[in-house]
Copies of this chain bind each other. A is one copy, B any other.
Amino acid sequence: MSTVRGARERARIEVTAAIKDEARRMLAAEGAAKLSLRAVARELGMVSSALYRYFPSRDELLTALIVDAYDSVGAAAEEADARARAAGAPPRARWAEVCGAFRAWALAHPHEYSLIYGSPVPGYSAPLDTVGPAARAANALIGIVRAAHQGRGIALPPLPAALRAEAERMTADFAEGLPPEVTAALVAAWGQLVGLVSCEVFGQFNRVVEDRDAFFAHAAGQLGHAVGLPSV
């Protein structure tokens, strides 16, 4: 299925990858605003119009980078969890590791983080191609909570009536098997985790939090508590 038919096809794959690599380099160096097709083409020794054979617009290139970024952060989260699980870590520790890996990835790739969790840059774009990869990091957290629930069970206070149906729908959609209260707490915790990391990456904590490592570790631990993970 993925057999490369000829030299042309092979070249196309290589050039496409080279474009993305160069674009990612510029993104990391200067941010999405300064990423220009012409500069990428120039750096690759081609003319800008030739680049449109590979990406029909700047936004499509950005979308490709977005998908890659989601995959990258998702992989980082999954690897952190795999390591923790291999070391026999309890759910709470796995949770902390995954949150920490998410934050570390964001701090190491601030511009890519901005691209996916910051303001949507290119008009809008990127609705459907990205939902799969986007879920990877969150799914790592869901997996931890699911494991903990299948272990000794998780119990949280009942939800307000207004949220019960919605929580059951969410559970059926992407967290099958969890109690609805846990699903709701999990989604909230995900949003809150993104907030903590965004505040740090985007500078909202600049003259506020100094010891960011300690602060985040504690806050992430609290999030683990909020979704019902046992304390040790």
Residues of A within 8 A of B (CB): 31-34, 114-115, 117-123, 127, 131, 134, 159-160, 162-163, 165-166, 169-170, 173-174, 184-185, 187-188, 190-200, 202-211, 214-215, 217-219, 222, 226
Contacts and interface: CB of A to CB of B under 8 A. Distances in A.
17 contacts: A120-B202, A127-B203, A131-B207, A166-B211, A170-B208, A173-B208, A184-B215, A185-B222, A187-B208, A188-B222, A191-B196, A191-B199, A191-B200, A194-B198, A194-B199, A198-B198, A222-B226
A120 B34 CA distance: 13
Nearest to A32: B119
Nearest to A208: B187
Copies per complex?
2
Contacts of A159: 218
Given A117-B202, A188-B219, 9 more contacts: A31-B123, A163-B211, A163-B218, A165-B211, A166-B209, A187-B205, A188-B196, A188-B218, A191-B195
